[in-house]
Amino acid sequence: MSATALDRDAAVQARVVAALAARALRSQLRRAQFLLPAFLLPLLLLAVIASGTSAARHLPGFPSTGAYVGFVVGGTLVQGALLAGLTAGIALAADIEGGFFDRLLTAPVQRVSIVLGRISASIALGVAQASLFLAVAFIFGARYQGGVAGVAIAICIAAIAAGGMAGLASAIALRTGSLSLLQNLFPIVFVFLFTAPAFFPRALLGPTLRHIAVFNPLTYVVEGIRGALHASAALGDPWKGLVAATGLLLVTTVLSVLAMRGRLRAL
């Protein structure tokens, strides 16, 4: 193939990915059973955790002026990202079971584009969620010392993490094609979440959990988000967060592409 033909093909595939992402986003936003967990659940947990206590000033590295909700919202962002990613997998499994996936497979599109469309949609969903959560927390007293840049970086990290989780969930959906299996993965999200210092600083975790947290990429994601939001190196390193989220995204994208290949081979 000539260079121009390659370019043309790349442009067509980019349009295909965009169209698939727009469609995935749209049908995900229209499904109440997806919106509830992805948007409402994290906000509820935020309210519950932030309401009882005002321990903010005792947290190492946390600005003394901030409300505790400003600390907790970092965990809310990560929780939202995980749920956004998981619902992407559920939606993909629903496509497979419902037959819509066959329509995509009979179209002359790169199989990779089908996976990338799904993951891109979750990144976009992640941006929407993180913005909402940060705004709600702001209304309830959270202040972001990192300013606009810090908020933007935090949203960015959260959205990439959402894509990473979508990759993982999509890989599972493509391997199993089972909607009910994916739906039963909700508890796993919380295992991921609570083996990272999502709502408490790492120093306050028990010794076992603290060891596990070191190996959970979400630890760096949530700490990076907090560091960016509050411009505090003691809370976390935004770069580490960005690297961890991006690494997760790359690895799980590869996993889902491999899962797609495996699925097609077994047809």
Partner 1 sequence: MSAADDQRAILVEDLVRTYPGGLRAVDGVNLEVAPGEIYGFLGPNGAGKSTTVRILTTLLRPTSGRAWVAGHDVVAEAGAARRVIGVALQEAALDPLMTGRELLRLQGALHGLRRAQASERGDDLLERVELVDAADRRVGTYSGGMRRRLDLALALVQRPRVLFLDEPTTGLDPASRAALWREVRALNADGTTVFLTTQYLEEAEQLAERVGIIDRGRIVAEGTPDELKARVGEPALHVDLVDPAEAERARELLAAHGECSHRRGGGLIVRMSGARAIAPVVRTLDEAGIEVDTVEVETPTLDDVFLAVTGHAATDDPAPEPSLSA
Residues that bind partner 1 (CB under 8 A): 12, 15-16, 18-20, 23, 26-27, 30-31, 95, 98-109, 267
Q: How far is the CB of 198 from partner 1 (least distance, A)?
A: 31
Q: How far is the CB of 263 from partner 1 (least distance, A)?
A: 12
Task: State phi, psi for 231 to the nearest 5 degrees.
Answer: 45, 45
Q: How far is the CB of 82 from partner 1 (least distance, A)?
A: 23
Q: How far is the CB of 253 from partner 1 (least distance, A)?
A: 21
Query: What's the chain's Rg over C-alpha atoms?
Result: 19
Based on CB atoms, which residue is closest to partner 1, 102 or 147? 102
**What is the CB-side half-sphere exposure of residue 19 using CA atoms within 13 A?**
9
Q: How far is the CB of 79 from partner 1 (least distance, A)?
A: 25
Name the CA dihedral angle for 253, 258, 259, 264, rounded to a multiple of 10 degrees. Answer: 130
Q: How far is the CB of 95 from partner 1 (least distance, A)?
A: 7
> Taking a C-beta distance cutoff of 8 angstroms, is the pair 21, 35 a contact?
no
Question: What burial class does residue 227 get, using C-beta atoms within 10 Å of its C-beta: 0-12 exposed, 13-18 middle, 19+ buried?
Answer: buried
Based on CB atoms, which residue is closest to partner 1, 100 or 200? 100
Based on CB atoms, which residue is closest to partner 1, 8 or 58? 8
Residue whose pair of structure tokens reads 């990473």 in the numeric block:
164
Based on CB atoms, which residue is closest to partner 1, 230 or 263? 263
Q: How far is the CB of 21 from partner 1 (least distance, A)?
A: 11
Q: What angle do CA 223, 237, 151 make, to 5 degrees?
A: 75
DSSP one-letter code for 107: S
Residue 24: both structure tokens together: 């995935």
**What is the CB-side half-sphere exposure of residue 165 using CA atoms within 13 A?**
34
Question: What burial class does residue 67 get, using C-beta atoms within 10 Å of its C-beta: 0-12 exposed, 13-18 middle, 19+ buried?
Answer: middle
Based on CB atoms, which residue is closest to partner 1, 108 or 207? 108
Based on CB atoms, which residue is closest to partner 1, 83 or 96? 96
Residue 147: both structure tokens together: 């300013």
Based on CB atoms, which residue is closest to partner 1, 147 or 262? 262
The CA distance from 166 to 115, in Å, is 10
